[in-house]
Structure 1
Amino acid sequence: MFFPLQGKVQLKRPDVKFWLMIVNITGTTGHGDADMVPYRLYFGRIVAEYNHVVAQRYALSSRPFIGPTSMNAEMAFIMCNQAQVRAGQLVLDPYMGTGSIGVAMAYHGAQVMGTDVDMKVIKLGKTTAKGEHVNVYSNFQHYGTRGRLAGLLRLDLHTHPFRRDLQEGAASDIALQQAPDHNGESGGI
């Protein structure tokens, strides 16, 4: 057997799908030389498939709250697929903004936590032409995933309290890193 795959083959509803791409291009490499482009085979597991219905439903134009830097919904879904976001996971979006990636994570069933430096985006939001107040929570509510938003914090990741170089004890941490180890040699962490 070429691949040591185990389990029963299910062609109608497979758990895992594979693609074999055959590249057979005739011509030159385009760099002025006469070398032919080599014949190639690419084999891999499909990690995500494009769903046109989901892409339309989650398009930025359908959201109640967007900003000038809101990420395109398709890109947010691609990022969640690459990160293999799954139902039941707790995930953090450290730059939540208007929630584009968070909404995609919630679609996959994950519990979402987010942080952002801008309190106006997180809490205050904006007032629409109809006089409605909308914010990040509105986007989750719009898609019926408000229950998956575990919380939002105003936090500047550049100056958060977890950075060692900003803590009062940073000098003692540096001294610890340079302290000799049990062999008498200077060691680092």
Structure 2
Amino acid sequence: MPLFLVYFAQFHEEFRLPELDSLSILENVPIAYDAATYSPESPFLLIEVESAALAAKLVRRGILIRYIIEYWGSGATYAELFSHLKQDPSRWSDYMTCSFKFTVDAFGRSLTQREKVSAIESFSFMACEGPIKMKNPDVEFFVCEEYGAPDTPQPLDAPKKVWFGRLLNQGSRDLIDKFDVKKRTYLGNTTMDAELSLVMANQALARPHALVYDPFVGTGSFLLTCSHFGAYSLGSDIDGRQIRGTAGFRRGVNGISANLAQYGLADRVLDTAVFDICRNPWRPGPLFDAIVTDPPYGVRAGAKRLGRRSGNDPERSLRVVDGVENFRRSDYLPPTVPYEMSDVIGDLLGFAAEKLVVGGRLVYWLPTVAGEYDPKDLPTHPVLRVVANSEQPFGGWSRRLVTMEKIAPLQGDSAAELPEHAPAHKNFRDRYFSKFEALDISSTTD
């Protein structure tokens, strides 16, 4: 099959291949590539696709993809690249009378305008006869010089590789700005940033007519991004104040509904509800095409479930104030108890195993203490297969974006299989704060 060059954004390097694979499924475009040739230090990856039209379709909603280019050749030097190109002049013969433009880019270094012009002029052997057209040309030739990662201590004076081809399409990185949390009418202290919310929507295979659910909806970031891609979405949370926007957040008092109006997505977000996911009202059996969520870790907001601490008055909810029973008051908050992180994840897998349709995906964040994570920490389930597990580090801790796919109907009472050891996310809140308190102490004594 023909070769195409994927030009990734140099961000979230562990997430790039999982998103690419998800786009292949979403767009029904089979691809092939050698994973051994992928490097987090480089934004380039050669893939095989059946046609240029399918390659252009593949990346159109990519968030971590800048461009896709019909690969014509590469070389360690321009001379080596030209030698490669001249072996097959038929590649450009079809475009000799078309309007055209050249785009010259570099990874790991900024090029001057003089250097860009010099690079363009070096392709004069192609003898393009058509008019130069800077906007909407018939064909756009793409040259990129690769120097290495931008933070390389000693940048190279000359590129280590030069890539060339015909630019076909670009990804949807403009959506990062559109959904920038700083521009939202309503946000809170746990609002997920736009880029990763969009990546999660892609890995969840959010698409028209799919039904996506967030059981820890918070301020509703995933409802926005999944519904932007055409899915119907809904969410729930044990704390209705986050949904309504009455919990003292930085901006907005209309809650999630204000953001839905801002982005014109109210017709795709079916509803939000307030209940404990452990006591959910959903009918038994498969219901959702995807479950996308960021369970509360306890760092900025702790997980809770319904329950009473020992010693609490069990009759409190039945007390009558001004003729109204407590539990019937609009401002009544039912009693809750802490929900330990490893229990949250185990219950989440059990819920997904029942409520996802076969082929549906669970996409969730798993926090972990840096240096303590072990692949065996991940709970498993007989009907759920791990598709991707990507880390976002934060120094003393990190979080992992875990994507799982339901591969078979749930049989009987099969439950999530929890690790026999204490995983790195168990009692995460306590371990997080104790770790950073220790770091603070050491820094003051040095």
TM-score above 0.5, yes or no = yes
Q: 1:160 to 1:126 in 2, by over 3 A?
A: closer
Measured in 1, the distance between the counterparts of 2:232 and 2:277 equals 21
Aligned length: 139
Q: Larger radius of gyration, structure 1 or 2?
A: 2
Alignment of 1:94-173 (within 5 A): 94-125=215-246, 133-160=253-280
Measured in 1, the distance between the counterparts of 2:270 and 2:281 equals 21
Q: 1:148 to 1:104 in 2, by over 3 A?
A: same
Measured in 1, the distance between the counterparts of 2:38 and 2:48 equals 18
How well do the aligned residues superpose, as a CA RMSD in angstroms? 3.7
Three-state SS of the structure 2 residue aligned to 1:147 is coil
Q: CA deviation at 1:111?
A: 1.1
Q: CA deviation at 1:147?
A: 1.1
Q: CA deviation at 1:134?
A: 2.4
Alignment of 1:1-189 (within 5 A): 16=29, 18=31, 20=33, 23=37, 43=47, 49-50=62-63, 51-125=172-246, 133-160=253-280, 189=413
CA contact (8 A) 1:122 1:136 kept: yes
Q: CA deviation at 1:44?
A: 7.2
**Alignment identity in percent?**
26
CA contact (8 A) 1:125 1:135 kept: yes
Structure with the higher strand share, 1 or 2: 2
Q: 1:121 to 1:58 in 2, by over 3 A?
A: same
Runs (5+) with no aligned partner, structure 1 = 2-13, 26-40, 163-187
CA contact (8 A) 1:127 1:134 kept: no
Q: 1:17 to 1:73 in 2, by over 3 A?
A: farther
TM-score, normalised by the number of residues in structure 2: 0.27
Three-state SS of the structure 2 residue aligned to 1:80 is helix
TM-score, normalised by the number of residues in structure 1: 0.59
Runs (5+) with no aligned partner, structure 2 = 2-26, 40-44, 50-57, 64-171, 283-411, 414-446
Measured in 1, the distance between the counterparts of 2:204 and 2:250 equals 37
CA contact (8 A) 1:114 1:152 kept: yes
Measured in 2, the distance between the counterparts of 1:115 and 1:24 equals 39
Q: 1:15 to 1:119 in 2, by over 3 A?
A: closer
Measured in 2, the distance between the counterparts of 1:161 and 1:145 equals 25
CA contact (8 A) 2:189 2:249 kept: no
